[in-house]
């Protein structure tokens, strides 16, 4: 049997760690008929497969494709979507047929966070199904889900690294957007691939096998026989995208709000030193946890999704929904710890400038 597994990489659920696990263990896994087709699908995030599914042009993904292709002569999705799809399909089908010729039974795994944030129309999921149906006897879908309030906060904290200037506020999120509507996402995929082939899993550390999403994904997608064979083999696991501490985020907010001519910059351009600053701030630790809004606002936001979440895990999981402990959120804004964010920022900037002058 030739089987495919599609991992919908819902954001902030360790998708990069899963992709690194598949990519860096690809040679070993392939000896057991398990493949991660990054060569044609687009590096570890399989962005080309996401482009193939899209109805409309996505400038960011097209730019990734252009950079990865490293050839000005290749047609882009923007220029001719149909020709681009034909080119992609031909290359990918050739790769998969080569894989199938090596083994009687194969499992090809696809993983992309773009399946969460960009493949949002039924017709796009249908296009993926029609394509994979040409190559496989069976296609299974797996998705990990993080509680919506935690996803929202984590996403915003990441946006601070990109330049956001305000602390997180749940009131800025309107309605049940596709990003947070897990039930609609699962139903959209189940309608196309069949509910029996769609699986939802809770992304919470103590609910993951080995307390790690890479270990959990291995246990969820490989057979017991292969896992037993791999027990004594050195598999690569790594955690990706470590978060910034509370103090570090506060310092970065100060930087984002800083005027371009602020004396602390010593004449340097803010964009040119942002990444160096973020690297420095990753070493700033504290015991305050994340930068979080008041508990009442988190509870109010989560309530929008509570009943739908139960349906997600009852219909597509094992019936266990999220842990609903909200004690990590402060009771009020006044409970938030006070830190010398400006002092931390000043110290880190001075360190960067001193290193650049040596």
Task: Give the residue from 16, 321, 354 showing the smallest Cα distance to 147.
Answer: 321
Which pLDDT value is given to residue 83? 94
- Distance, C-alpha 45 to centroid of its chain: 9
C-alpha 252/C-alpha 278 separation (Å) is 8
Provide φ and ψ at 52, rounded to 5°.
-55, -35
d(CA 102, CA 95): 11
The whole-number pLDDT of residue 52 equals 97
Model pTM score:
0.91
Domains and CATH numbers, the chain: 2-146+203-230 (3.40.50), 246-291+336-356 (no CATH)
Please measure the distance between the N-terminal and C-terminal CA atoms of the chain and give it in whole angstroms: 61
pLDDT of residue 350: 93
What's the rounded Cα separation, in Å, for the pair 210 and 65? 35
pLDDT of residue 123: 97
pLDDT recorded at residue 168: 86
Predicted pLDDT at 72: 59
Neighbours of 106 (CB within 10 A): 22
Kindly give the confidence (pLDDT) of every residue in the chain, 358 residues in length, as a single tens digit, with 9 standing for 90 and above.
999 999 999 999 999 999 999 999 988 999 999 999 999 999 899 999 999 999 999 999 988 888 887 665 678 898 899 999 999 999 999 999 999 999 999 999 999 999 999 999 999 999 999 999 999 999 999 999 999 999 999 999 889 999 999 888 898 887 667 899 999 999 999 999 999 999 999 999 999 998 989 889 999 998 888 888 887 777 787 766 678 899 999 999 999 999 999 999 999 999 999 999 999 999 999 988 888 899 999 999 999 999 999 999 999 998 889 999 999 898 887 777 889 999 999 999 999 999 887 7
List the one residue out of 276, 261, 247 whose CA is nearest residue 342.
Answer: 247
Instruction: Say what the pLDDT of residue 185 is.
Output: 97
pLDDT of the residue at 144: 97
């Amino acid at each position: 049997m030739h089987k495919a597994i599609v991992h919908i990489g819902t954001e902030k659920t360790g998708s990069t760690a899963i992709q690194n696990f598949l990519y860096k263990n690809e040679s070993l896994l392939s000896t057991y008929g398990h493949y991660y087709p990054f060569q044609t699908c687009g590096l570890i995030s399989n962005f080309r497969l996401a482009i193939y599914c899209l109805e409309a042009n996505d400038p960011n993904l097209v730019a990734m494709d252009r950079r990865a292709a490293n050839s000005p002569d290749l047609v882009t999705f923007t220029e001719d979507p149909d020709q681009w799809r034909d080119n992609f399909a031909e290359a990918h089908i050739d790769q998969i047929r080569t894989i199938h010729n090596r083994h009687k039974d194969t499992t090809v795994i696809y993983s992309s966070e773009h399946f969460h944030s960009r493949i949002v129309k039924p017709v796009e999921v249908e296009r993926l199904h029609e394509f994979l149906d040409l190559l496989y006897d069976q296609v299974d879908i797996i998705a990990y889900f993080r509680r919506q309030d935690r996803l929202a906060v984590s996403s915003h904290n990441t946006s601070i690294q990109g330049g956001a200037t305000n602390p997180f506020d749940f009131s800025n999120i309107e309605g049940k957007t596709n990003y947070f509507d897990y039930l609609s996402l699962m139903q959209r995929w189940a309608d196309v691939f069949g509910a029996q082939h769609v699986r939802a899993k809770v992304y919470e550390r103590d609910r993951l096998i080995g307390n790690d999403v890479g270990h959990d994904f291995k246990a969820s997608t490989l057979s017991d026989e292969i896992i037993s064979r791999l027990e004594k083999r050195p598999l690569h696991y790594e955690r990706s995208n470590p978060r910034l501490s509370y103090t570090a985020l506060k310092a970065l907010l100060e930087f984002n709000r800083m005027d371009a001519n602020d004396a602390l910059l010593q004449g340097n351009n803010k964009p040119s030193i942002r990444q160096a600053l973020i690297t420095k701030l990753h070493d700033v630790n504290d015991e305050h946890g994340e930068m979080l809004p008041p508990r009442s606002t988190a509870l109010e936001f989560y309530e929008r999704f509570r009943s739908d979440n139960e349906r997600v895990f009852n219909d597509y999981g094992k019936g266990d929904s999220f842990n609903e402990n909200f004690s990590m959120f402060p009771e009020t804004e006044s409970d938030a710890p006070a830190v010398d964010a400006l002092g931390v920022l000043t110290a880190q900037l001075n360190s960067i400038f001193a290193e650049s002058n040596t």
